[in-house]
Amino acid sequence: MRVPPPPARPRGLLLAAITALLILFLGATATHGIDRADGAPRVVKMGALVTALSDFDPVDQSFRATFWLWTTVPKAYGNPLKEIDYSNAKSVRVDASLAIPQDNGTVWYQHKMSGTFTHDWNLSAFPFDQQTLTIEMENNAYDASTVVFKPDVANASNDVDLSSSGWTVKSFSLTETTKKYTSTFGDPTLAPRSPSYYSRLVIATEISRDGLLTFLKLSIAAIAAILLAVASYFLHIDRGKEPRFAILAASVFALVVSLQTAAGAGAEASLTLVDRFHAVALAYVVVAVVVSIIAHIMFNRGVAMDRINRLERRAGVISTAILVVLLLLLFATA
């Protein structure tokens, strides 16, 4: 009589149950999109393309920008672009949003953004200044122990044409840094008074101003004033003081007009290159006026003309030499 074999163990059912539990567990953690089994932060690779820069406003300390952002992450992560806080934005909005699923289970997210961003306009070298305009982004939900940005350097780019506005794009970069805050923002998992660290992605566009024509427009009257002051040294006081003082008066008038023209070109709180040039020109003209007054006084007192002419020649040569040195230093350090 044959003994029937023992019933088979339900290995298939057991394996299926374990697999289902594992999928549920992984699904739960993936849905959160943050926690990692190894404790390492989630890395979000993100790229950017700047398409427009405009409304440069030194008074308001701002500029406008239009740009695209993108990232490709597992579907369970959700859209990381919705978690971004623009640290230096005055206003920002999403103009377009795309989500394109991929065959490998990831999603390619894209946002077209536009906004106004703060910038500390340093106009000390105006109109030959360079500015680095930045757009600073952080994750507004998770710190650097949980989420870290990684720049998509290979695809990040700048497609801005500023030639019509007198600027040139010099360089572009997309970099990641860590921003330290002296607060926990009330995070109960952190010790009181301990700092917080957030991953920050920075879009930086360096631009320079093509300012030669601007400088000439703002300073042509000041240049004329300098030339008139130089000419005054060649008019000797014994041939009449009227022509000499008329030239100096015209020189001062030209400087006043030039100063009024240049006053609104930069920012009121900044001493620009144009302002410093006018200051040097004004000092040169004042010296010429003082020398003319001294020569006139000496002539009225009967001082010999040789002595007066010698004084004027020395004053003219020395003051002009100092003017040239100051101008060279002025433009060399701009």
What total number of domains does the chain contain? 2
* Listed residues 209, 231, 255: the one ending a domain: 209
72 lies in the same domain as 130: yes
pLDDT of residue 261: 76
pLDDT of residue 31: 34
Secondary structure letter of residue 104 according to DSSP: T
Mean local confidence (pLDDT), 238-263:
81
Spell out the long-range contacts of 100-108 with Cβ–Cβ below 8 A and sequence spacing 24 or more.
101/75, 102/72, 105/74, 105/75, 106/72, 106/73, 106/74, 106/75, 107/72, 107/73, 107/74, 107/75, 107/79, 108/70, 108/71, 108/72
55 lies in the same domain as 99: yes
Cα 130 to Cα 127: distance, rounded to the nearest angstrom = 9
Mean local confidence (pLDDT), 78-92:
96
What would the two tokens of residue 325 be? 């040195």
Residue 331: exposed, middle, or buried by beta-carbon count in 10 A (0-12, 13-18, 19+)?
A: middle
* Listed residues 171, 194, 209: the one ending a domain: 209
Question: Per residue in 18-70, pLDDT tens?
Answer: 444 444 333 333 333 333 445 789 999 999 999 999 999 999 999 999 999 99
56 lies in the same domain as 188: yes
Gyration radius of the chain's alpha carbons = 35
86 lies in the same domain as 191: yes
Kindly indicate the confidence band of residue 268, based on its pLDDT and cuts at 50, 70 and 90.
Answer: low
92 lies in the same domain as 132: yes
pLDDT of residue 30: 37
224 lies in the same domain as 100: no
pLDDT of residue 83: 93
CATH number of the domain that residue 43 is part of: 2.70.170.10
**In this structure, is residue 105 part of a structural domain?**
yes
pLDDT of residue 264: 62
224 lies in the same domain as 203: no
247 lies in the same domain as 187: no
pLDDT of residue 35: 38
Q: Which amino acid is at 232?
A: S
203 lies in the same domain as 75: yes
**In this structure, is residue 19 part of a structural domain?**
no
Q: Which of 46-50, 108-112, 117-121, 300-304 has the lowest mean pLDDT?
A: 300-304
Beta strands in the chain (DSSP E): 42-57, 62-74, 84-86, 89-101, 106-118, 130-139, 147-151, 157-158, 167-181, 196-209
255 lies in the same domain as 121: no
Mean local confidence (pLDDT), 196-202:
95
184 lies in the same domain as 246: no
210, pLDDT greater than 50: yes
Mean local confidence (pLDDT), 163-167:
88
221 lies in the same domain as 278: yes
**In this structure, is residue 216 part of a structural domain?**
yes
290, pLDDT greater than 60: yes
3-state secondary structure of 153: coil
Kindly indicate the confidence band of residue 86, based on its pLDDT and cuts at 50, 70 and 90.
Answer: very high
12, pLDDT greater than 60: no
**In this structure, is residue 8 part of a structural domain?**
no
131, pLDDT greater than 60: yes
What is the domain range of residue 97? 34-209
Residue 49: exposed, middle, or buried by beta-carbon count in 10 A (0-12, 13-18, 19+)?
A: buried
Q: What is the mean pLDDT of the chain?
A: 86
Cα dihedral sign, 215-216-217-221: positive
